[in-house]
Each structure stands twice: as C-alpha cells, then as structure tokens.
Amino acid sequence: METVDLARLQFALTAGAHFLFVALTLGLATLVAVVQTRATLTGSPVHMRMTRFWGQLYIINYAMGIVTGLVMEFQLGLSWSGLTEYAGNVFGSALAIEALVAFFIESTFLGLWIFGWNKLNRWAHLALIWIVTLTAYASAFWIMIANGFLQNPVGHVVDGGTLRLVDFGAMVANPAAQVAFWHVMGGAMITGGFFMAGVSAYHLRKRTAEQDFFRKSLRLGIGVALPATFVTATFGGISFDTMQPTKIAAWVGSAERLAEAQAEMVARLGPGDYLPPVEWVRGGGLTMVILLVVMLLVAAASCVLMAFRPVVRGFRLWHWLLTAMIPVPFVTVIAGWIFREMGRQPWAVYGLLKTADAMSSVTETQMRFSIIAFASVFSVLILINYWLLARHARRGPDAVALGDRPIDTPSAPALSF
C-alpha cells in the first residue's frame, strides 16, 4: 500500500468504529426520552423502570463514543494537515459549533440527568433528557454540515491558495448535507429500535420475570424501527439528486456511464483519473440496500405479529430472529458510510483538493505504526463497550444502578484520616 492508502485505511477504521457508537447513541437517546415522557405523564412505574434500564445502556454507549470521538480530532492534525490548511477555515466552523454548542451542552445536561434522579422536579428531569436528545441531533447536524461541504463545497472562495468562508448560510443549506442528515437520523432510529427490540426479545425468549416490561419495550422498538426504515429509504433515494456524477456512474457500474463521467471531469479539470473505486461503491451500496429491505420486512412482519398477544409471549423463533437482528443495522450504516465516502474519491474536497494532496508529511512507517496503535485501541474499546452492553442487558432491570437511590437515602459517609 502507498502512504495515502494507509492514511485512508486508518481514518476509515477509526471513523467507522466511532460511527457505530453514534448510531446507537442517537437512537437510544430518543427512545429513552419517549419512555420517560410516558412515565412522567402517567406516573407508570413500569415505564419509569424502562427509562432507567434503557438509560443505563445509553450511558454506557455514550461514554465509549466520547472516547472514540476524541481520536477523530487528533487525526485531522496528525494525518490530514493538508486538508485543514486548505479547507479548515470553512468546514472547521461547523466542527467548532458542534464541539462548543452541541457536544458540551449535551454532556453537561446528560450529567445533570444522570445525577438528578430523585433530586430534581420530575418535569425538570424530563426536560433534561430532551435537551440531551436535541443537542445530540444538533451534534449530528453540524457534523453532516462539515461532511456535506467535503462532498459538495459551497459558500466559499479561494483566497491565497486556501478556502475562505463567505456564505455561511449556503454551507448550512447545502443539499448534500441536509438530505444526508435526515438519512443518518433515520438509520440511527432503526439502530436504536432494533437494539431495544432485540434485547427485549432475548428476555422474552428466556422467560425472565419481567415479561410485561419487555413486551412494552419490544413494541416501542419495532414501532420506531418500522417508520424509520421508510424515512431512511426516502431520504436515501432523494440523496441521489445531490450525488457526484462519478459516484452515480460507479453505482450504476456500466462502462458507458463510467467513461462519460470520466470524460466530463477531464474536460472540467484536465487530465487525471477521477473515478472512485467502483467495487467499493457498488459493494457498499448494494449491502446497504439489501439489508435495509431485510430490516423493513422483519419490522413489518413483527408489527403484524405484535397484534397477537400469545405470539408476543411465546413465539421463540421470532424472538431469536429479533435478537439476531441487533447487529444488522450496524452493518447497514457502515455499508452506507462506505458508499458515501468511497464515492467521493479521489477527492478530499470534491473537485478542489485531492486526497493525496490533503495528507500530512508522514512516512509509510509512521502510518503503519499509527494504524496498529489506533486499531488496537479501538478494538479494545469496541469489545469493552459491547461486553458491557451485553452484560447489563442480560442482567435486566433489577440490576440497574441508574437512579436507584431515593432522595432521602443518605450517601455513604466520607472516609476520614
């Protein structure tokens, strides 16, 4: 591999791993907020216990997502200084807003939500989780604005060999970002919905004591996942109107379309190879579409089966299928990410800066070492995260620690020396 290929592989591994945490975080935050709203409005004890159980799983995933997200910032400076020097003044503004407004607000209010159980007014506590959820959406929005600029650069001028932002509104209204945001949000709702349904189906299959708890959770998970598949498919279809001609040609795969797209780019930018890796684009796109159809069929069939109470209680084959579906949305979002990002190649900023020119001055040995280091750290974090999620999910709601200390229960006395 050339150094640029190693750098791309490094970023693909770390960005893809981080995206796994993000998808579940966005989906679970919404579901937890909905469940707590129901609990607050009705005073339902089972829904309050559902809030605590699913909220604890959300917190575990969120904490690991923060750690992996911090690494992404380092990579821009370590491996892609050419990109930040050339276009950082433009897309960096969206990243700064994401960090200063969305991320810090989200973290602050999540801390208040975690430690405010049985201490804050119930309506204030409910407001906290909705602020956390909305700021999580805001964080995803600004990330997609930055990514949308790389896909379809707008609102800038070239000044002294670098890009300068002149129309912030145009960058925010970029169709390549707006459509992708709703597509990603739909995918996150599918991920959260199938995760909740799959964990619930596991407990229903094992005939644990909390049958009513997990029947309600299963219905909510499927009830969110099914419409989310339609939303995701709709915005995925709309996104073809915002795609680069070279990506569309690679997706179609015909030699004629590829030759036509290449000729258009040569006429516009001069001699060069402007086609993305066709196999990766088609493979990622086909995997995404096929798995989306599978999830749609499973969610639709599950909605029908949920109408029959004996089936919900005792259809173990269906329970096993839903549990087995837990990883499918994760594979789907990674396939979609590959389709989106590989389709942009060979450009870091489409039509303006090639990936090879966006790299830092690093050697092949340095890149190989950093790949090994990053891959090792991310592998450990992913394994820890999913071990913790599986461990706490199997234990059920009785083992939840979140919000289990009443307000009038004194905390353990501090040690004195």
Tens digit of each residue's pLDDT (9 = 90 or more) over 39-76: 999 988 999 999 999 999 999 888 888 877 777 777 77
DSSP E strands, 237-349: 347-349
pLDDT at residue 380, rounded to an integer: 86
Which runs of consecutive H residues, i.e. helices, occur in 156-238? 168-172, 175-205, 211-238
Q: Residue 161: pLDDT above 50? A: yes
Cα–Cα distance, 145 to 151 (Å, whole number): 10
Residue 83 near residue 349 (C-beta atoms within 8 A): yes
Is the pLDDT confidence value at 416 over 50? Answer: no
Per-residue pLDDT reduced to its tens digit, 240-252: 988 999 999 999 8
What count of Cα atoms within 13 Å lies in the side-chain half-sphere of residue 266? 10
Q: Phi/psi at 343 (nearest 5 deg)?
A: -70, -15
Mean pLDDT of the chain: 87
* Per-residue pLDDT tens over the stretch 184-229: 999 999 999 999 999 999 988 887 777 888 889 999 999 999 999 9
Give the angle subtended at the CA of 141 by the CAs of 136 and 147, to the nearest 5°. 130
End-to-end CA distance of the chain: 59
> What are the percentages of helix, strand and coil residues in the chain, rounded to 5?
80, 5, 20
d(CA 138, CA 352): 28
pLDDT for the residue 411: 41
Amino acid at 33: A
- pLDDT the model gives residue 359: 87
Handedness of CA 171, 235, 335, 141 (dihedral sign): positive
Q: What is the pLDDT of residue 311?
A: 61
